[in-house]
Amino acid sequence: MMKRILVVRNDKIGDFMLAWPAFAMLKASTDCHVTALVPGYTQALAELCPSIDQVMIDPGKSANSAAQQNLLEQLKCGDFDAVICLFSNFRNAKLMWQARIVQRWAPATKLAQLLYNHRVTQRRSQSTKPEYEYNLDLVRAFLQHNGITIIEPKPPYLTFNEAELARFKSELARQLDVDASKPWLLIHAGSGGSANNLSVEQYADLLARLWETYPGLQPILTAGPGEQALAQQVVDQVGQRVALAHDLALPDFCRLLACGSLFVAGSTGPLHIAAALDVPTVGFFPLRRSATPLRWRPLNSEGRHLAFHPPANVEVEDMSQVDIAEVAAAVTPWARGFLS
């Protein structure tokens, strides 16, 4: 009988967020104790996930030998019945093999697969389905192998207490000097280097067009670490008073996103956090096969996400070719129920 399961997703924030349906399926179907192995920068997010019981921190491949050995000892002492590596590389594979975890599951790709004793063939590089579906497929295979009835998860995957969120929104509105009663349009212009993104001018143009159509909304630019200057450029470009929210701790940044009526961003971590909250999202994606709107589709429920990309006849990563007038024309009627 399965009691303790380890799930590995020790890469970027967006990738980790797209594992939340897999965590939810695993927890709902087994009620096992679920431990997540994540890097330090996603720890705060992992601790918010209702389907994770314990968080184990990976110091990363660059950590010294003492830190690496300490991680291996934690894995050995974890008494895990199984590990599911949603992100697999040779380092992860070797660690799980050295820890002698009985069932070791991962995608059947790369030489690293030889160190796992349960493999699922997945052609992720072909990007034929969303990343979160690849993660779910691995968990489904694990559950089926162990004769466990599968319970399919549903969004939202992250929620906050309504009274707590209302207090947070009221206090943040006071700090930002904005109206808490208006629908908040949140725009995140940073990308964290994860994918090509729109320019400052494009984001400012889209904000201005939406604001003209919905004068009752409250626009707020959001910025993560190192992104404040970029967000300020968008604010300056708009030429009207727009609030800028920055330097929030990650849990509070998630609460800010939960206060939004619409969230606009490139293909980056904050887009996937907003989607896990099922806040309506507008996302901008390149057309490179490994980065398409299909592969990195956010976790929104049906009808609460719109995706845009460069035209098919231009360079796949040339985001300057995204026509903001066309974007606004598509978003305006779709967002009526969220912004009015």
What was the pLDDT predicted at 110?
A: 76
CA distances in angstroms from 337 to 48, 166, 264, 340, listed in the order given = 28, 21, 16, 6
* Run of H or E residues at 332: helix 324-334
Q: Tell me: pLDDT of 194 over 90.
A: no
- Give the model's confidence band at 1: pLDDT under 50 very low, under 70 low, under 90 confident, else very high: confident
pLDDT band at 92 (very low <50, low <70, confident <90, very high): very high
Q: Over 70: is that where the pLDDT of 167 sits?
A: yes
pLDDT for 31: 86
Q: What is the per-residue pLDDT across 312-326, written as a single tens digit (0 to 9) for each? A: 888 878 999 999 999
Banded pLDDT at 193 (limits 50, 70, 90): low
> Six-digit token pair at 71?
């991680």
103: its two tokens: 């069932």
In the chain, what are the domain boundaries? 4-145, 162-339
Average pLDDT score over residue span 65-94: 97
* First and final C-alpha spacing in the chain: 51
Alpha carbon distance 300, 298 (integer Å) = 6
pLDDT at residue 183 in the model: 97
Q: Does domain 4-145 have CATH number 3.40.50.2000?
A: yes
- C-alpha 70/C-alpha 234 separation (Å) is 45
pLDDT at 219: 97
Instruction: Band the pLDDT of 111: cuts 50, 70, 90.
Output: confident
| Segment 219-246 mean pLDDT | 95
Q: Quick one: what percent of the chain has pLDDT higher than 70?
A: 99
- Hunting for tokens 């208006």 — which residue is that? 182
What is the pLDDT at residue 264? 98
d(CA 220, CA 256): 10
In this structure, the dihedral spanned by the alpha carbons of residues 206, 210, 215 and 219, taken in order and rounded to 10 degrees, is: -60
Determine contact, residues 22/136, Cβ cutoff 8 Å: yes
pLDDT digits (tens, 9 = 90+) for 254-306: 999 999 999 999 999 999 999 999 999 999 999 888 888 999 999 999 999 99
Q: Phi/psi at 208 (nearest 5 deg)?
A: -60, -40
pLDDT, tens digit, 9 for 90 and up, residues 17-43: 999 999 999 999 998 999 999 999 999
Tell me what the pLDDT averaged over the chain comes to: 95
**Of 109-113, 212-216, 314-318, which range is least confident?**
109-113
Kindly list the distances between the CA atom of residue 31 and the CA atoms of 46, 51, 132, 196, 259, in Å, as whole numbers in the listed order: 17, 9, 21, 39, 30
Determine the average pLDDT of the residues in 108-122.
89
Third-level CATH fold of 162-339: Rossmann fold (3.40.50)
